[in-house]
Structure 1
Amino acid sequence: MALPLASVQLYSLAKEFSADMSGSLDKLAAIGLRHVEAFDFVSRPAEIRAALDASGLSSPTGHAPLLSDELWTPDGAIPTPAPEVVFEAAATIGMKTVIDPFVAPERWLTADGVADIAERLNRAGEKAAEFGLTVGYHNHAQEFVADVDGQSAYARFVELTDERVELELDLFWALTGGQDVPELVRSLGARLAAVHVKDGVVPTSNPWAPGAGDFGSDTLDQRHAGTGEVPLADALRANDAIRYAVIEYDNAPGDVFADVAASYAFLREGGFVA
């Protein structure tokens, strides 16, 4: 089976990308990367496409809010545009899959809440198909707090979504949510289109559990892939359907380009990516 393609989530270098889009992409290309995962792209798709083309990069996947009135991030909220606007922008950039990156923790605590999330994403998938696109969902750790009919809210969500809805599993956050990460990767089968390759010291408690208090990404002790607590190697070997191995740091430990290069070296030297 074909190995996944290496990519990097541009949220990892949000400040650098905002300050110098072309220069940042050129640095990623110099590392050896050929793919990125765009973030906050809807307001400037033509500009991003031109910069990607100039750097010899593509963005087969991208993050945009599809299921919430606004997208929460640890560093501020981003308003949610209409789905048609999101998909038109994604098509301009040349994406294949638009992935919703975050749904608020309280919406994962009840069976009705999970069903609503799944129904909304199924509808978004129908609209995306009109643009030649698919949709997906990227987890954090709130999806693993509550049980729904004897299974995690995340497992219930997977059952309720259409087969064409793709999954992007953040391995760091799945472990934070108490999951057996390689087993979860295996269980998702052909639905698992991508994983976020992220490592570090896992928080001692789920920061999105009820009563956990405020959370900011600057509190995370994240490290280069292969040097933290996440069983990345076992997870990457657990499912041969994965198409993209996406490097991400919520809190890069040093120079972000050096950090990306170190994680890319782990993927390449371990034989985990094509």
Structure 2
Amino acid sequence: MAAPNAITAQQLLRLVGTPKAPTIVDIRLDEDLASDPHLIPGSVRLPHTDLDALHERVGGQPCVIVCQKGRKLSQGLASWLRGDGHEAEFLDGGMFAWRDLAGAPSVAAGAIPKPVGDHTLWVTRHRPKIDRIACPWLIRRFVDPGARFLFVAPAEVESVAERFGAVPFDVENTFWSHRGDACTFDAMLDEFHLRTEALNRLATVVRGADTNRHDLAPEAAGLLAISVGLSRQYRDDHQQLQAGMDIYDAYYRWARDGFDEGHDWPADRKS
């Protein structure tokens, strides 16, 4: 019988990438991470001995503690946190169970930029439309939930990146940018090893909207219309990003488990 404070890999998979995802804390030993340098999307690395940092990071949010096998480290720490009043669970089977679950994505730990403070810091051109909203959504939902984004004039992106230690993205002649016919969202899926069926489906829509190739997916024209509307509705880029998070949350759920649903008004209906 599963422990009452355990969550299975399958249950966690349903939450990852959504606004309801718990705070995932990876407490694997360094040698365990070195043997498998991948993270559950959205997780943060902390040592199991740093209780102050754990309390601060978890705050009042539900959390899932992950170790290599789901045994002494994660079970002990989850119980400790529950004793302190936190809603904590441990991943049953640990990273081994996640790794063996079909369709479970894992982020390449080495691809995540070094944080500035507690979280990664990114910079791009102001007045975002598609890629510059889609990429922050991807990062916050699958890479670093607390990631910060700076929107500045195009001519200032490079200087701001140097001054603040931020990572430039969706800018020409930078690492995180368009590559051939693919857009920056595609580049991030490749580098972070996040190529899943659902994210690939969403990427096709983003690519079609961002490169004006609506033949790639019928939903691309709709995403372009929504993106243009958002950019005209908000003067503040950060407010636009926040609104855009909800839009991409909906697109992701469509791409994950709603893409085959249609809607029609029967022709023989009288009212």
Give the TM-score taking structure 2 as reference length: 0.29
Q: Which has the higher contact order (CA 8 A, sep 6+)?
A: 1
Bigger radius of gyration: 2
Higher strand residue share: 1
